[in-house]
Structure 1
């Protein structure tokens, strides 16, 4: 791993203005929170509203109900990954803030269309086909926007002190936490009202996205923003790295490959465990939580999996904004150690009805404690890795490093998903190899 001090790179001789009352910092958290909200809401509502309410006929499976979630996965991952790669070569040479603001506005339009469809149309057999393909088309559109946004926004704030990258991650984690609380609320108060639930979900998303658009506009009016943006532009112009090229990306990679590994492995381990493994761990028999938790399986999963993960990942990312340890040199040791969480969850009550292996941790208390540790360490270490990546390279490569870290994050998500599928097959079939 190569670590370089900023004093060895280009600098701009000017006193940096202060972020008064940390207003830019808090607005960056809001931007990180809000723009990913539409898609997270979309995924959360899909099984209940689209699969069961729209595409099943009298409770019976149809081709559309069977294929919707698979189609939604392709409609999300393919455009997201594609635009992340393309954006490395096209967007860096231009003003990235426009490529952040544009997806927000575009997703305001997408959400408005979705909300109108939910309000105006009700399920009917003759409408399934066009509603199916229209919904997937909107999903593609949202994910192109989100991919462009996420890659660009990390590039924009790579020119800022690295705590602002952490602010984006705090916002991302708060987004998941809010969705969990919304899900708990609708489970209690809007049970068996899928259309009303969809209206609530998408209305919340649209409202927050409008606030995010205003927040982005306000950020660009601050002297603090203009100073760091201009400083980054001047540094890249002096180093002749203001326009993208394969050689620049390669040089950036050579300077930060250690941190890129940290980003990849941290997200890969987490996505192996959550949500696929955690959400199918059955309640135990002997723990304190086993005695006090609701007997409703959906409520049990919401509290022990979704709430635990989103709450403690958020706490971890907030702590990382104050404490920066381990240093970049030793961060990989802590991140590699997190791989131990995979066998821990594997030997909980994971797929207990069909598993071919013994259960070692038949206790919900152990499961929840492991979930808290895994979630907190994810929020904390992923924030450090994402923040360190642009800081360990020469400053004229920082924007490229930040955008490479987002691409690496996406690969980590994909890797974790594939590992989760492998473990799902392994737990029932020990002779899979």
Structure 2
């Protein structure tokens, strides 16, 4: 017969039994869990950042343009990729709301990561073995869209589960996930810039190196998650959250519990949805096809290479300043939850600003009001900084404006809303993309 230390919570895993004092929170020594959570955050948006960063150079220009001329595939790829990424992501997030608490952590977090490692290895094999031809263009387009759908379907399960797990932790750990999200995009951008400079005018080799590094990063994310689950700090907050939900009889999800949670945090859910919807309307679809202006200081100092120009003015600007914004949000919490929506709604003004920059300037039916590259980059900085800051506040506020036994469900709802926001933004971007060359639509 086994006996356990009195007053301690017992956490049993497949291999180990942990004894956790319910009255004393273990210390996160050297902030190791915090830093590992940032690494886990890398994996949340890695598939999306991976595809959109390489897409303009490798897929659009190298695979789907013929002698530099636009084809249906090159014009439609970015919009199709956005929908193929965000639609399955949103769908699995809704489905996962009813299953995440009941299922083992190993199935809901580790399995999607392993599946994406497998998918990315397949993509890398195609990049290595297949060269672009006119006959291969059609099947390669749809194969890529299918792989993006598969990866993001799996990633939606992973993302919803991860945010649900860390909703039981102190507020800063949700913030760490968001910081990891943005640092991931920044790191991938730096990798892409370095590879492009070193392998100039060699898009296939760029893609091979780029996807190989992305595969390595995803493996590191899986290892980081594994080490987190071995920490007493993790087991204390995980078990504490489970105990609170069991005492309130909310340990298993149900439509009534989710509806009650929604009623307690719908204001913040709106903030999450609208913030991401506006952002994805602009980035990457609008920003990556906005060409350089005829004047401006920034235009004079940036390389004439179109790939470098897009990497610096779109991907680097967005990921760098979104990261800065999310880090600032971990220190400063203003506006308060009550007034956050005012700042987030005001961001909608960025959409017409980018619309009247050099967006699809060769085919557009509308005048360009902001031809200066400095205006485009300045608007990109403000849009990205506000996105990182306000989205981090909204995601952090959501599980904190509900009773503690609903916090995990609120975190899951916020991720689900985030995905719906990305899907909404993708649809808006496709709509704008198809209307830009058609006059008299307003």
TM-score, normalization by structure 2: 0.85
Moved more, 114-123 or 313-322: 114-123
Residues 278-319 of structure 1, C-alpha deviation per residue, up to 9 Å, x if partnerless?
A: 233343344322332333333222212221111100110111
Deviation at 1:229, TM superposition (A): 0.2
Q: Counterparts of 1:355 and 1:171 in 2: how far apart (Å)?
A: 37
Contact 1:313-1:379 within 8 A present in 2 as well: yes
Partner of 1:79: 88
Partner of 1:320: 329
Task: Evaluate the alpha carbon distance shift between residue 416 and residue 38 of structure 1 in structure 2; reply closer, same or farther with a 3 A threshold.
Answer: closer
Partner of 1:203: 212
Partner of 2:23: 14
Partner of 1:9: none
Contact 1:38-1:202 within 8 A present in 2 as well: no
Q: Counterparts of 2:375 and 2:139 in 1: how far apart (Å)?
A: 47
Equivalent runs, 1:88-167 vs 2, <5 Å: 88-96=97-105, 98-120=107-129, 135-167=144-176
Task: Evaluate the alpha carbon distance shift between residue 366 and residue 57 of structure 1 in structure 2; reply closer, same or farther with a 3 A threshold.
Answer: closer
Deviation at 1:217, TM superposition (A): 1.1
Partner of 1:213: 222
Deviation at 1:104, TM superposition (A): 1.3
Contact 1:166-1:383 within 8 A present in 2 as well: yes
Task: Evaluate the alpha carbon distance shift between residue 283 and residue 68 of structure 1 in structure 2; reply closer, same or farther with a 3 A threshold.
Answer: closer
Q: Counterparts of 1:84 and 1:170 in 2: how far apart (Å)?
A: 21
Contact 2:79-2:429 within 8 A present in 1 as well: no
Partner of 2:410: 401
Deviation at 1:61, TM superposition (A): 8.9
Moved more, 384-393 or 132-141: 132-141
Classify the secondary structure of the residue corresponding to 2:350.
helix
Contact 2:38-2:179 within 8 A present in 1 as well: yes
Task: Evaluate the alpha carbon distance shift between residue 45 and residue 303 of structure 1 in structure 2; reply closer, same or farther with a 3 A threshold.
Answer: closer
Gaps (5+ residues) in structure 2? 1-20
Give 1:307's match in structure 2, choosing from 293, 312, 316. 316
Moved more, 28-37 or 250-259: 28-37
Q: Counterparts of 1:127 and 1:270 in 2: how far apart (Å)?
A: 33
Gaps (5+ residues) in structure 1? 1-11
Classify the secondary structure of the residue corresponding to 2:176.
helix
Deviation at 1:146, TM superposition (A): 0.3
Equivalent runs, 1:288-367 vs 2, <5 Å: 288-367=297-376
Task: Evaluate the alpha carbon distance shift between residue 76 and residue 418 of structure 1 in structure 2; reply closer, same or farther with a 3 A threshold.
Answer: closer
* Aligned Cα root-mean-square deviation (Å): 3.0
Partner of 2:237: 228
2:257 matches 1:248: yes
Contact 2:78-2:285 within 8 A present in 1 as well: no
Q: Counterparts of 1:334 and 1:59 in 2: how far apart (Å)?
A: 42
Q: Counterparts of 1:354 and 1:114 in 2: how far apart (Å)?
A: 33
Q: Counterparts of 1:297 and 1:116 in 2: how far apart (Å)?
A: 27
2:423 matches 1:414: yes
Classify the secondary structure of the residue corresponding to 1:34.
helix
Contact 1:55-1:128 within 8 A present in 2 as well: yes
Equivalent runs, 1:14-33 vs 2, <5 Å: 14-33=23-42
Q: Counterparts of 2:331 and 2:54 in 1: how far apart (Å)?
A: 35
Q: Counterparts of 2:340 and 2:382 in 1: how far apart (Å)?
A: 17
Aligned residue pair count = 422
Deviation at 1:28, TM superposition (A): 0.7
Contact 2:290-2:361 within 8 A present in 1 as well: yes
2:203 matches 1:190: no
Partner of 2:9: none
Partner of 1:4: none
Deviation at 1:96, TM superposition (A): 3.7
Contact 1:425-1:432 within 8 A present in 2 as well: no
Deviation at 1:70, TM superposition (A): 6.8
2:264 matches 1:263: no
Equivalent runs, 1:30-45 vs 2, <5 Å: 30-45=39-54
Task: Evaluate the alpha carbon distance shift between residue 88 and residue 186 of structure 1 in structure 2; reply closer, same or farther with a 3 A threshold.
Answer: same
Q: Counterparts of 2:112 and 2:241 in 1: how far apart (Å)?
A: 23
Q: Counterparts of 1:370 and 1:59 in 2: how far apart (Å)?
A: 29
Deviation at 1:329, TM superposition (A): 1.3
Contact 1:92-1:400 within 8 A present in 2 as well: no
Partner of 2:189: 180
Classify the secondary structure of the residue corresponding to 2:150.
helix
Contact 2:291-2:361 within 8 A present in 1 as well: yes
